[in-house]
Structure 1
Amino acid sequence: MRLSLLILLMASLMTAGCVLTPGQVDRVRFARDAELVLARTQAGIVRGVEGDGVRAFLGVPYAAPPVGENRWRAPGPVEPWSGARDATRLGRGCIQALSPKAVLGGGGGVVAGSEDCLYANIYAPAGEPERARPVMVFLHGGAFTLGSGGQYDASRLAQDQDRVVVTFNYRLGALGWLALDDLAAPGDAGGDFGLMDMIALLRWVQNDIAAFGGDPGQVTAFGESAGGWGLCHLLASPEARGLFQSAIIQSAGCFERSTQAAVDQAAADGRRFAEALGCPDADCLRALPAWRIARVASPRRGINGPGSWGPVYGGPRTPMNIEAAYAAGQIAHVPVIVGSNTDEARLFTVAVRSRERFEREMRWSYGDDAEAVLDRYPVVDGDYRASLAASLTDALFACPAHRMRLALSPHVPVRGYEFGDADAPVRIPRWATGDMGAFHASELAAVFGASWALQDADGFSPEQAALSDRMRHAWAGDLADWPVTQDGDAPVRIFSPEGDRLDDSFARRHNCAFWADVVLGGETPRLQAD
């Protein structure tokens, strides 16, 4: 469906603040008791800052810069340095084009960030720990084309939950996900350099997190949207085995078959991409300015359908389609939490105000199934947006999460959740957005207990603040009274300001039997940029 230009443009511009220039965590850096602290990694000493009960090390390299001859290569080891390296400012985000079309792989836009971007940010409670703390590693979202780890201030999550929390950048767009025979290493398939970055970060955590007070044997990986998609692939990746001990997948419809690209098809698409740039080989591509590469439209089919980027399968990191891997139990045997938000697609349907626009979007999204979908999701009182948003939420988020829980349950402990704050804070004015409900990514302010590009956590009501506290405890491992799915359905935990509850009607409420016929019998509904 067509995304609102206003929403995506404003989101892109707010994101740019974390990409164009390195920043800092103001709460820590400018605390009255702020002081510099040191940590010794295998590559050298880093100098961070401690204040207001939190210790932060920002912009710490976890891999060599993927520039020059290292563009489209596996991330290499960090070159050691002498002296103390400053770690009080965020490193630059990865190269990305900021425009509504570019977010979905459509090309164009203002290019921000740097190829030298493989940096991590580490947050921990102040002081020297009496014991090694559990670790939480966050994989940011952004359709594999946008975003950075620096958008998310994890200081409160670390302090409140007594955890070491890591955020980080990974390569985006064509620089992260281009598949091309000429770029692949011998015996490799290529097309998932961003996934290689994620694995490199997790290996760095194994080697170096103890320097920051973390326990490498207690790592929880949690990812939202595209970050959740990446985590879905990491669960199925032999190269990621043993690098994390639990996983939380937030709002990622990983089982959508038509958006999972096999490496041979991705390589054919890559050849078209190279032709669009006028480059016959890898040497030519590596010589191009990064901004030119970032502005070219994607030929791939990724997580947002045609013309978008994402991981591939058929190579050493993801040998098979992830749905097949899950069904066969070819996954990391770790506890998993999988969930979605009640009103995911309201973020993407702001512009749907008229019958004409609604009918166009229905035809685009559902093709020959549009009439059947409309029968299931009728328009009430002329609210076209509500009908389309409800159908897309169920088709692309809620029911894929349900199917994933069922596929995982014979093999690992899996729990389900739904984020249901109907009045979640949003920075974009309500006059522009209308009723947003629990929209896509609206759980992030609650999970981190902090503001980010789209949300201002300072606007939490007392009930929302209590909800955030419960979610932070749950994400940190407090799973009491949260049932596990056992070879079938199980109650889903609903997180809401009114209080949490267990709901056994999730699949019925979201029409998952209907979508099993529509989606599995045909093509997945699509998103489209204006």
Structure 2
Amino acid sequence: MTETIVQTRAGRVSGLEGAGFTRFLGIPYARAERFGEPEAVAPWSGAHPANRFGRQCPQQYGGKVRRDVLEGPDYGEDCLHLNVYRPDGGAAGPKPVMVWIHGGAFMAGGSNAYDASRLAQEGDIVVVTINYRVGVLGFVNFGDALGLPAIPSNLGLRDQIAALEWVRDNIAAFGGDPGRVKICGQSAGSMSVSLLMVSPRARGLFHGAVMQSGAVSLIHDRARSIRDAQRFAAVLGLDQSSLERLRTMDLAELIGAQAAVSGQLSNAIPAAPWYDGDVLPASFEETLSAPTAPVPLLAGAARDEIRLFDLMPGNILPSKWPDLEALLREQLGEAHAARVLAAYPRNRKGRIALGSDLTFIMPTRHFAERHSAAQPTWFYRFDYAHPIAGATHGLDLTVFWPFKGFKMALARGGPDAGRRAELGRRMRAHVAHFVRHGDPGDIWPRYDRASRKLRVYDLADRIEADPLAARYAAWEGRDVQPGLGK
């Protein structure tokens, strides 16, 4: 592979040319001390070698603490890196840019798993994949819970905004157009996109958005964020004098507390963004009435989202009838809850439909419908089904991205070939067209309140008008917030 040098504001970076693309890996976009605001990186001399992935942010998803995902060659607190994939050839002039925000329940994940070389080449776009702080390092409200204003709110979201500022300031050097940036994400990444859409700090940093399974309802209000941070404080023995200890304690101790707090919760995660009145509006109610960014939106969700959470260990989202019913009655009231429950048969299929609607489908669709009143919007439903898990949460990733290996073939429901591969190509083509032009192309009608037309992705796609209309009408545009529980 041939070395390529690009000049950024902080210094030169050295990437590698591949077959039809050039990639720059592990570029530092910001630096941050533990529980500190992301800041500009210090300039460097010489050419920074951008030929291997940077370390991903420390993380722990589950009980036992593993050192290998905290500090080492592949993980560490110096993790605010991004990767740039630039296609060779294609249309002349600066290319539109897609910024990918990974998922992982705000507790795990990273940019390195997403090889964007194929997407960049097929779509003739520059693709940027980013890391951001997750779990206790990115989304625990120690500042309010302990009276420590030196710890800013929502550090993981601040990291995402810092990455978008880096793109604004540097992407032209890589052949990208800073005036045509679209943000995209799945699951926690999709929720992040929805939050950036209402964040005053992110305004003007992007020009379109793609949300894949998730919107503003699956995060915490301020009161819940304080309660959970107090749980951490109790486990660790923290008080208002503990700032220095928080910043210097063994990372394994912090992550161990995260595992302990996780064990105390039901249908919830121990760390998530919250409505803070700074990066985000002050409450969920304010968010619903806040103007979204004046940009086009492409959004959607999978038909059987909740099946993944039935199959995986842990208990982070409600999926059982008693939990679903209790949430509906508590937040919607008896009469409205009864109308919603009447729309779902009292059987396994109805439970999967209700769990999927409550957690991902309705919040994403409601967000899109509110946005469609003022801005161009397109919506989809992902119906391609795994033989065991159905059209579950995250299955779309296995079709869209070039994950390789036997385990990924099992997760996908088969090899990346034939009609399954064609589905992935269609999805990438629609996203790339949206990144280039602000619409997905392919005779895909806009979503609006009159017709509610959407695309159904499957081995053969179709356009439907207001599918499952009675079920949608029963929600009356309301969302339930699982993160409001005790």
1:365-410 residue CA offsets vs partner (Å, 9 max, x unmatched): 4338699687654466xxx4x4432221122122222211221122
Does the alignment pair 1:336 with 2:297?
yes
Does the alignment pair 1:169 with 2:128?
no
> Counterpart of 1:110?
66
Please give the residue correspondences for 1:78-477 in structure 2 after superposition, counting only pairs within 5 Å.
Answer: 78-98=41-61, 102=62, 108-111=64-67, 112=69, 113-126=75-88, 130-181=92-143, 190-255=152-217, 259-262=219-222, 265-280=224-239, 281-297=242-258, 305-321=267-283, 324-329=286-291, 331-350=292-311, 361-367=320-326, 376-378=343-345, 384=348, 386-423=349-386, 435-451=388-404, 455-456=408-409, 459-476=415-432, 477=434
CA distance in 1, matches of 2:117, 2:145: 39
Q: Identify if the C-alpha distance between structure 1 residues 451 and 365 changes in structure 2 by more than 3 Å, giving closer, same or farther.
A: farther
Match of 2:181, SS state, is strand
Amino acid in structure 2 at the alignment position of 1:261: D
CA distance in 1, matches of 2:283, 2:166: 27
1:305-344 residue CA offsets vs partner (Å, 9 max, x unmatched): 5343211113321123355334342x21101112001121
Amino acid in structure 1 at the alignment position of 2:244: D
TM-score, normalised to structure 2, is: 0.84
Please give the residue correspondences for 1:501-520 in structure 2 after superposition, counting only pairs within 5 Å.
Answer: 501-508=462-469, 511-516=471-476
CA distance in 1, matches of 2:350, 2:407: 24
Q: Which moved more, 1:394-403 or 1:126-135?
A: 126-135
Offset of residue 496 of structure 1: 1.5
Offset of residue 293 of structure 1: 0.9
1:15-62 residue CA offsets vs partner (Å, 9 max, x unmatched): xxxxxxxxxxxxxxxxxxx22221111111111111111111111100
CA distance in 1, matches of 2:207, 2:147: 29
CA distance in 1, matches of 2:300, 2:43: 40
Amino acid in structure 2 at the alignment position of 1:448: W
Match of 1:97, SS state, is coil
Does the alignment pair 1:74 with 2:37?
yes
What count of residue pairs does the alignment treat as equivalent? 455
Q: Identify if the C-alpha distance between structure 1 residues 62 and 333 changes in structure 2 by more than 3 Å, giving closer, same or farther.
A: same
Offset of residue 524 of structure 1: 4.2
Offset of residue 516 of structure 1: 4.7
Match of 1:217, SS state, is strand
8 Å Cα contact 1:304/1:526 also seen in 2? no
Structure 2: 5+ residue runs without aligned partners? 70-74, 330-336, 435-439
> Counterpart of 1:24?
none
Match of 1:56, SS state, is strand
Offset of residue 295 of structure 1: 2.2
Structure 1: 5+ residue runs without aligned partners? 1-33, 353-358, 424-433
CA distance in 2, matches of 1:453, 1:170: 29
8 Å Cα contact 2:56/2:110 also seen in 1? yes
8 Å Cα contact 1:236/1:326 also seen in 2? no
Match of 1:114, SS state, is coil
1:261-285 residue CA offsets vs partner (Å, 9 max, x unmatched): 12x5523532332232122221111
Match of 1:196, SS state, is helix
Q: Identify if the C-alpha distance between structure 1 residues 199 and 309 changes in structure 2 by more than 3 Å, giving closer, same or farther.
A: same
CA distance in 1, matches of 2:481, 2:428: 37
Q: Identify if the C-alpha distance between structure 1 residues 164 and 351 changes in structure 2 by more than 3 Å, giving closer, same or farther.
A: closer
Offset of residue 513 of structure 1: 3.1
8 Å Cα contact 2:168/2:178 also seen in 1? yes
Instruction: Indicate the percent of aligned positions where both proteins have the same amino acid.
Output: 34
8 Å Cα contact 1:60/1:120 also seen in 2? yes
CA distance in 2, matches of 1:132, 1:360: 46
